Amino acid sequence: PDDVGLLAMEVYFPSICVNQTELEKFDGAGSGKYTIGLGQTNMGFCTDREDVNSLALTAVSLLLEKNNVSQQDIGRLEVGTETIIDKSKSVKSVLMKLFPDNTSVEGIDTTNACFGGTQALFNAISWVESSSWDGRFALVVAADIAVYASGNARPTGGAGAVAMLIGPNAPIVFERGLRAVHMEHVYDFYKPNLSSEYPVVDGKLSIQCYLNALDTCYKRYGEKAANGSGYTVEDGDFYCFHSPFVKLVQKSFSRLVLQDYLTNPELKDKYPELEQVRGKTLQETLGDKDVEKLSMKAANDLYNVKTLPSVLLGTEVGNMYTASLYGGLASLLSVKKPSEVSGKRALLFSYGSGLASALYSVRFSLNHSPDSPLSRLMSTLSDIPHRLSARKVVPPAEFEAIMKLREETHHKCSYSPVGDVQNLFPGTYYLTNVDEKFRRTYERV
């Protein structure tokens, strides 16, 4: 099949959030640390009423309903997540509740920190392109609840789910052959304590691994994408990144500009700010704060055009782990008009600690007429800014209390959640009970 890509997309994020300015004060962190230092505005979080199953149930049902896709039209369903609530039973198996009249659905869960959603997506694309494809759509859902122990990583949490419908003749096409990966073994962020929702994290190391993976993927992508002359950031129109916190996204984009500069002598006049970096190797500059500042300055105008439109959900909800990168793409599509993306290329960088990473690209269809598939896809995402502002902002003390409750109860059986269901958005699934055999039941608003 031709033009395999994204046919529809749905984003779900919690209806409650905590404000990062208030959280800075509450935590006694320096004023500006979470907002300016990390680039965050609000952080979405879940009460004990939501788990990874409910998030995925919500995103998948809304996607099917809003796009009038029937359960029989789905031939493969892939889940990417690192929010493990069962060591054997997949989230995918729970989602089969939504397919009572169609048990012929391939696919299970894929896990590697924030990368699971991307590998799930790659699996779905491969299925559509394979001899096993039966002509139906593939559906991918990336869902996570990102929570950290109290301390400096806590403000980089978040939660959410993105569901994506994959098939041929799509308005957003995955560019064939333009996929670069970098994978290696490292202990930067992992979850060895199976009774805790929290990761063990070496924050500084994870940032260094992320940026090094980006450098490597960008080099490899450039080798594949260059036609004649070398690839530079100008050859991509938009750049979306996995977003642990938005400041890292800005630094990431500036690394691409820095690599362009260090590897293309003809760019020396384009970025005069980088004059004093000339002659260094990219590896030498990793972790160098002065180079980081200069690169961010040099890249700033391009960042505002090519990446800023994709950080809305990252800024407002925080890290959604596997869903984060796809929240970036959805943000871009929610703030742009079809005519502004039509015919253009977006690069997507996915990073999952441990580590697995990839940089690949999509192309938006030329057809952007009001009834085009591209316009329809984008119109279903256009309510994101409105939904973000309709959330309830909860005081930090209440946020802390809810985190404590999750800590104490998330792994319990014979448990009835107590969280408020009044504030949940329409269409949200929520947990009603975990029985004595850990069997979970859900209802829907």
**Which residues form the catalytic set?**
82, 114, 242
Q: Least separation, in Å, of the C-beta of 27 and ligand ACO?
A: 10
Q: Which of residues 318-347 bind ligand ACO (CB under 6 A)?
A: 319
Q: What is the Cα–Cα distance from 338 to 365, expressed in whole angstroms?
A: 9
Cβ distance to ligand ACO smaller for residue 322 or 428: 322
In one-letter notation, the amino acid at residue 136 is R
150 counts as binding ligand ACO under rule CB under 6 A: no
Could you say which DSSP state residue 105 is in?
-
* Radius of gyration for the chain, computed over Cα atoms and rounded to the nearest angstrom: 21
Q: Considering only 3-11, 118-126, 150-158, 397-405, which stretch makes contact with ligand ACO by CB under 6 A?
A: 150-158
Q: Is 349 in the site for ligand ACO (CB under 6 A)?
A: no
Does position 163 interact with ligand ACO (CB under 6 A)? The reply is no
User: Which residue of 153, 214, 225, 434 would you call a contact of ligand ACO, by CB under 6 A?
Assistant: 153
The first and second tokens of residue 179, run together, are 């996929």
Say how many Å lie between the first and final Cα of the chain, rounded: 38
Residues 194-253 that bind ligand ACO (CB under 6 A): 201, 203-204, 206-207, 210, 244-245, 247
Is 36 an interacting residue with respect to ligand ACO (CB under 6 A)?
yes
**287 contributes a contact to ligand ACO by CB under 6 A:** no
Q: Is 104 helix (H, G, I), strand (E, B) or coil?
A: coil
Decide whether 45 or 210 has the Cβ nearer to ligand ACO: 210
Measured from the CB atom, the residue of 207 and 312 that comes closer to ligand ACO is 207
- Nearest CB to ligand ACO, comparing residues 289 and 386: 289
- Extended strands (E) in 230-384: 238-241, 345-352, 356-364
Q: Which of 47, 67, 111, 156 binds ligand ACO (CB under 6 A)?
A: 156
The reply to whether 31 sits near ligand ACO by the rule CB under 6 A is yes
Nearer to ligand ACO, 246 or 347 (CB): 246
DSSP 106-158: B--EE-BTBTHHHHHHHHHHHHHTSTT--S-EEEEEEEEEE---SSTTGGG-E
Indicate the burial class of 390 (C-beta count within 10 angstroms; 0-12, 13-18, 19 or more).
exposed
Among 21, 22, 26, 33, binds ligand ACO (CB under 6 A): 33
Contact between 37 and ligand ACO per CB under 6 A: yes
Backbone angles phi, psi at 249, to 5 degrees: -65, -45
Distance between CA 227 and CA 411 in Å, rounded? 53
Cα angle value 273/279/281 (rounded, 5°) = 100
Binding residues for ligand ACO, rule: CB under 6 A, are 30-33, 36-38, 114, 152-153, 156, 189, 201, 203-204, 206-207, 210, 244-245, 247, 319, 353
